[in-house]
Chain A
């Protein structure tokens, strides 16, 4: 299965600032996704990162708040913009590739705390 490197692993940010999270995959993958996991909660899909075009956002998530880039088949970024304490969560990159692990692999996540 694909190996995902997600950076940073954690950060503490001031409200009103922005943070960009990087997701690097060791192989070309079909699809890349970004999830949010609020404290003690399940995973919620933010958007599907599309290579060479605008991301597809789920209900409740907008591009101005969570701009996403995917310049190639192995890399994507998620920016959390104009942060507030409510944005404190774990943000996870996931990819759909080929292989035995159901095709879906997750990064280790970025633990964001907004103060």
Chain B
């Protein structure tokens, strides 16, 4: 079946720099996307979401960009902090209430 995937499995970033995490999706019918952060021993934590009628959405220190033409989703984290070290997942929904998750990117923040 169609699935969501991530371009890079790991990302190492210097503290204070900006992070960009990418995600490719293959289901053109997907109309809702979510980014989750998962720390060790915890469940996924909501970061930000975006619907397919938007191409950009901003939160606190985070921005999600959606490019439907190339089926690409990205998460930008501004001024990355040590607490941002985690695994990040994108997830998509195709209007059936079920989420399909990408492979995940491990972000490591260097002090």
Q: Name A's B-contacting residues (CB within 8 A).
A: 1, 4, 6, 30-31, 33, 41-45, 48, 58-59, 92, 94, 96, 101-102, 104-109, 111
Contacts and interface: CB of A to CB of B under 8 A. Distances in A.
A103 to B, nearest CB: 9
Which secondary structure dominates chain A's binding surface?
strand
Contact of B98 (A30, A42, A48): A48
Interface residues of B, number: 20
Given A42-B102, A42-B103, A104 B43 contact: no
Chain A CB count within 10 A is highest, among B43, B89, B97, B102, for B43
Nearest to B9: A40
Interface in B31-75: 34, 36, 41-46, 49
B101 interface: yes
A105 B99 contact: no
B34 A43 contact: no
A31 B46 contact: no
A94 B104 CA distance: 18
Contacts of B36: 106
A102 B98 contact: no
A102 B104 contact: no
A106 B44 contact: yes
